[in-house]
């Protein structure tokens, strides 16, 4: 088989797909030019490039060409295959693309095979730290890198480590927070499943830096595969002397074990997590003292997120300055996001800090599902805020997201289109927080419940003007007086939607209307007989058989049976279903 040039073809317009026609023409012209045997022209499913016309990617030479018209094909083939003329004008380089640091091995190596991790410089950082560095220089390197915690709060990692390092108490612990409870977020799970040794190596390095003897993985029991892979990784590390006594002959001893969480959101909060590992009920403790001072069994303990720890080995390998060169002034490195909701390419992306939300949603994730209009994005899960379309150029960084009333959080990013209701979404998050509140402190336990009751009332069309002020008042109380960040941040989704979508709240309260039709108590579906073509599509699709009638008499919706799912509204091709 002679070596052929492989071209991937793709129509990247968001509204149509004429890749097949383009391929037929491409192959015909190749035949006319007599080069059909030296190429393959393959239809691709996705090239990660959107709205750039026809895109052709030369896989052998790794060059991408965009905006190629049908009339350009001949010129293109002559230039690329026969070397006659040039097609430099079509060359395309993606200006915004993912940068994989934490996820560099995910999807590349076999996570259950330590040799494959080691072939990617695995455990080189550990060898370097134990033989050439001191705990102080490791912490120094972390300081230079500017790495901040990826679990939500964004606390500088080196600072936490140096608090523990400088403690007089010499029994110290390292904990990996793999509780990941934010709805829609699963970055940590993917890292644990895809590159477990990177997290184990980060743990050992953290242990060395602070002078700890033991470390714990706190993983939620709902992640069986992640648990299995971490178990395997720990076992392999012990067998090779990377854990246990006298690691690499350095005299440093470190043991790692796993503790399972039972799936309570609040147990991701560091002090509740400590209680849980100690075998007690998982409720937060007042801080200070902070865990770095008095944590597990009252000994200095550092708690770091999975993603934070997965970055450590590379900082030691490549040097702190390397990471510090990526990102914004106050936010260094990359962040992994789990993009979900109404988005074309849902999944995990890792981007350098400082990229804008719009670039992430449209440039990397392919835009809104079905080419619809973006309404808002939500970051930070139940502790975060909703960011409207007009602020889509906000940069992804701790400081910029805080400026617009949201947070980086652990990395959930939910895309919403115009079918989403800006009262219903915060109601969902608040309900989550109310259900997950541990009940220890009153502001969170009572405040959350009362806010939810008001939101429920508004969604049922029974809201009054004063409810809006009451929401603000309770929110303030919760923010100021709750014991932990669960209660302090639970009002954020409500407050940010009230700030950016006041007219939507006003519609719900004054007009008793839900624009998106999500607050079902306020909507009614009826059939407009003048538009109805009697096709029966709604009758067939109604899941509860609420639509009946005949061609002669017309069709009607039985309001008692109707569950307001909106299926009839969606399937009707003649806009005969009226939603009010």
Ligand X SMILES: Cc1cc2nc3c(=O)[nH]c(=O)nc-3n(C[C@H](O)[C@H](O)[C@H](O)COP(=O)(O)O)c2cc1C
Point out which residues bind ligand X (CB under 6 A): 149-153, 155, 177, 179-181, 265-266, 268-270, 303-305, 308, 410, 484-486
Q: Are 72 and 29 in contact (CB under 8 A)?
A: no
Q: Which two tokens stand for residue 130?
A: 């134990």
Contact partner at residue 151 from ligand X, other proteins, none, CB < 5 to 8 Å by partner kind: ligand X
Q: In sequence order, what are the beta bridge partners of 8?
A: 42, 57
* DSSP per position, 494-508: HHHHHHH-HHHHHII
Q: Which is nearer to ligand X, 68 or 199 (CB)?
A: 199
Contact partner at residue 262 from ligand X, other proteins, none, CB < 5 to 8 Å by partner kind: none
Residues recorded for the chain: 580
Q: Which is nearer to ligand X, 292 or 519 (CB)?
A: 292
Residues that bind other proteins (CB under 8 A): 1, 3, 6, 8, 23, 40, 42-49, 57, 59-60, 64, 94, 97-100, 103-113, 115-116, 118-124, 126-127, 130-131, 186, 189-190, 193-195, 223, 225-226, 239-242, 248-249, 344-350
Q: Which is nearer to other proteins, 239 or 528 (CB)?
A: 239
Contact partner at residue 464 from ligand X, other proteins, none, CB < 5 to 8 Å by partner kind: none
Strand 301-305's sheet: what is its strand order?
A: 255-261, 214-220, 173-178, 301-305
Q: Which is nearer to other proteins, 275 or 350 (CB)?
A: 350
CB of 416 to ligand X, least distance (A): 23
Q: Which is nearer to other proteins, 156 or 184 (CB)?
A: 184
Q: Which is nearer to other proteins, 123 or 290 (CB)?
A: 123
Strand 63-65's sheet: what is its strand order?
A: 5-11, 54-58, 63-65
Contact partner at residue 197 from other proteins, ligand X, none, CB < 5 to 8 Å by partner kind: none
CB of 324 to other proteins, least distance (A): 17
CB of 207 to other proteins, least distance (A): 18
CB of 118 to other proteins, least distance (A): 4
CB of 333 to other proteins, least distance (A): 13
Q: Which helix (H) or strand (E) holds 257?
A: strand 255-261
CB of 496 to ligand X, least distance (A): 18
Q: Which is nearer to other proteins, 191 or 430 (CB)?
A: 191
Contact partner at residue 361 from other proteins, ligand X, none, CB < 5 to 8 Å by partner kind: none
CB of 182 to ligand X, least distance (A): 7
SS3 349: strand
Contact partner at residue 349 from ligand X, other proteins, none, CB < 5 to 8 Å by partner kind: other proteins
Contact partner at residue 226 from ligand X, other proteins, none, CB < 5 to 8 Å by partner kind: other proteins
Contact partner at residue 180 from ligand X, other proteins, none, CB < 5 to 8 Å by partner kind: ligand X
Q: What is the 3-state secondary structure (H, E, C) of 3-19?
A: CCEEEEEEECCCCCCCH
Contact partner at residue 289 from ligand X, other proteins, none, CB < 5 to 8 Å by partner kind: none
CB of 481 to ligand X, least distance (A): 15
Give CA separation, 491 vs 153, 488, 514, 523, in Å.
16, 7, 21, 26
* Cα–Cα distance measured from residue 107 to residue 83, given in angstroms and rounded to the nearest whole number: 36
CB of 353 to other proteins, least distance (A): 14
Q: Which helix (H) or strand (E) holds 157?
A: helix 157-165
* Cα–Cα distance measured from residue 384 to residue 492, given in angstroms and rounded to the nearest whole number: 6
SS3 178: strand
Q: Which is nearer to ligand X, 348 or 422 (CB)?
A: 348
CB of 176 to other proteins, least distance (A): 17
Q: Which is nearer to ligand X, 361 or 483 (CB)?
A: 483
Nearest CA-CA partner of 303 in 151, 145, 485: 151
Nearest CA-CA partner of 202 in 322, 315, 312, 320: 312
Report the b/e string of 542-569 with b at 16+ CB within 10 A: beeebbebeeeeebebeeeebebbbbbb
135-138-142 Cα angle (round to 5): 140
């Amino acid at each position: 088989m002679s070596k052929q040039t492989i071209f991937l073809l793709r129509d990247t317009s968001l509204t149509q797909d004429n890749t097949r026609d383009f391929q037929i023409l491409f192959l015909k012209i190749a035949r006319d030019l007599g080069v059909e045997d030296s190429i393959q022209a393959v239809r691709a499913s996705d090239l990660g490039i959107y709205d750039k016309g026809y895109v052709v990617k030369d896989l052998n030479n790794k060059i991408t060409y965009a905006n190629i018209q049908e009339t350009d094909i001949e010129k293109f083939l002559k230039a690329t295959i026969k070397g006659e003329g040039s097609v430099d004008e079509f060359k395309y380089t993606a200006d915004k693309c993912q940068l994989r640091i934490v996820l560099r091995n995910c999807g590349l190596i076999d996570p259950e095979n330590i040799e494959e991790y080691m072939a990617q410089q695995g455990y080189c950082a550990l060898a370097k730290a134990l033989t050439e560095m001191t705990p102080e220089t490791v912490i120094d390197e972390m300081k230079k890198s500017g790495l901040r915690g990826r679990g939500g709060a964004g606390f500088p990692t080196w600072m936490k480590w140096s608090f523990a390092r400088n403690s007089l108490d010499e029994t110290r612990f390292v904990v990996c927070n793999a509780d990941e409870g934010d709805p829609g977020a699963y970055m940590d799970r993917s890292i644990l499943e895809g590159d477990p040794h990177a997290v184990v190596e980060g743990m050992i390095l953290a242990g060395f830096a602070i002078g700890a003897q033991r470390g714990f993985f706190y993983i939620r029991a709902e992640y069986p595969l992640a648990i299995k892979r971490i178990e395997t990784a720990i076992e392999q590390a012990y067998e090779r002397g990377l854990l246990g006594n006298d690691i690499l002959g350095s005299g440093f001893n470190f043991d790692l074990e796993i503790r399972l969480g039972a799936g309570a959101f609040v147990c991701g909060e560091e002090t509740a997590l400590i209680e849980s590992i100690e075998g007690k009920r998982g409720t937060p403790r007042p801080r200070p003292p902070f865990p770095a001072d008095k944590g597990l069994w009252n000994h200095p303990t550092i708690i770091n997120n999975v993603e934070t720890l997965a970055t450590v080995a590379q900082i030691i390998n490549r040097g702190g300055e390397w990471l510090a060169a990526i990102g914004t002034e106050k936010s260094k490195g990359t962040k992994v996001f789990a993009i979900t909701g109404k988005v074309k390419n849902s999944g995990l992306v890792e981007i350098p800090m400082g990229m804008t939300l719009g670039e992430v949603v449209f440039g990397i994730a392919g835009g809104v599902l079905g080419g619809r209009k973006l309404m808002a994005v939500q970051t930070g899960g139940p502790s975060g805020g909703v960011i409207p379309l007009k602020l889509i150029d906000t940069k992804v960084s701790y400081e910029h997201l805080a400026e617009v009333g949201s947070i980086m959080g652990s990395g959930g990013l939910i895309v919403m289109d115009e079918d989403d209701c800006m009262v219903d979404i915060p109601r969902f998050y608040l309900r989550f927080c109310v259900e997950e509140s541990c009940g220890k402190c009153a502001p969170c336990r009572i405040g959350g419940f009362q806010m939810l009751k008001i939101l429920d009332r508004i969604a049922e069309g029974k809201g009054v003007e004063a409810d809006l002020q009451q929401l603000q008042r309770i929110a303030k109380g919760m923010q100021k007086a709750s014991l932990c960040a669960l209660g302090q941040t639970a009002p954020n989704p409500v407050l940010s939607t009230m700030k950016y979508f006041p007219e939507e709240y006003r519609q719900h309260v004054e007009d008793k209307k839900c624009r998106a039709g999500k607050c079902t108590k306020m909507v009614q579906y009826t059939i407009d007989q003048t538009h109805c073509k009697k096709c029966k599509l709604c009758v067939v699709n109604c899941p509860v058989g609420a639509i009946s009638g005949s061609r002669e008499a017309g069709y009607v919706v039985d309001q008692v049976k109707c569950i307001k799912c909106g299926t009839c509204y969606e399937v009707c091709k003649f806009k005969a279903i009226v939603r009010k």
